[in-house]
Amino acid sequence: MSTDLWRFAEHLYQRPGIEAACLHLQGEGADVCLLLCAAWLEQRKVAFGPARAEQLRQLALPWQQEVVVPLRQIRQRWRTAALHDTALAALRERLKRLELDAEREQLERLAAVSCDWPEQAAEEQVMWLEALAPHLTDEDRDALQTLRTAASQISP
pTM of the shown model: 0.91
- pLDDT band at residue 2 under the 50/70/90 scheme: very low
Q: What is the largest CA-CA distance in the chain?
A: 57
Quick one: how far is CA 127 from the chain centroid? 16
List pLDDT tens digits, range 24-56: 999 988 999 999 999 999 988 899 989 999 999
**What pLDDT shows up at residue 76?**
95
How do the domains of the chain map onto residue ranges? 5-152
Which whole-number Å values give the CA distances from 142 to 6, 26, 59, in the listed order? 24, 14, 26
